[in-house]
Amino acid sequence: MILSDFDLINYIKSGRLVVEPFSEDIVRENGLDLRIDGEVCILSNTNAVLDPYSTTTDLSLFYRCFKAEEFIFEPRSIYLATTIEYIKVPPELMAFVELRSTFARMGLSIPPTIIDGGFEGQITIEIHTSTFPIKIRRGTRFLHIVFSKVSTPIQKPYSGKYQGQRGARPPQLPIA
């Protein structure tokens, strides 16, 4: 069951779903529009081999992270971006992350992304860019998050390595 605007407001007012900072203008008909924050990482064009099993991988060879009030997303590139909002999802909910359609119509895309029940943190999202540069300002409503109630509360809520994340986060290595 997908939560409506009425459901979302009640979840937030009850404190079961936390969105900080919260503004009622991010609540949409069937989800929340989260805003892009002022930090991104661009994936580098390199021939170096990223070894996700190594404890000595230098991620600065593969990601260049920076902060700004506006970004020019360069053509045919991949970025990691983060939301202004920090969320806490209760164990009876999960969420689907979608790009707002205006940005998809500009040629941007994101891979399928799920927020697990029990997750808390800012959302880091991978963005694939268009064939032309696109300017985006910090604070722009960028992602649409659709929350769904699971049939029973999740027995093992999310407790992974991205729990509590803040900022645009490259992968945490090594992987298990």
Q: How would you class 106 by CB atoms within 10 Å of its CB: exposed for 0-12, middle for 13-18, buried for 19 or more?
A: middle
For 70, residues 6+ apart whose C-beta sits below 8 A from its C-beta are 135, 136, 137, 138
**Shortest CA distance to 92 belongs to which of 34, 38, 150, 140?**
150
Annotated active-site positions, please? 126
Q: CB of 60 within 8 A of CB of 164?
A: no
Q: How far is residue 170's CA from residue 174's CA, in Å, rounded to a whole number?
A: 12
Return the DSSP state at 45. -
Provide Rg for the chain, Cα atoms: 17
Q: Which residue has the tokens 């805003």?
A: 35
Cis preceding-peptide flag for 174 (omega within 30 of 0): yes
Q: How far is residue 4's CA from residue 10's CA, in Å, rounded to a whole number?
A: 10
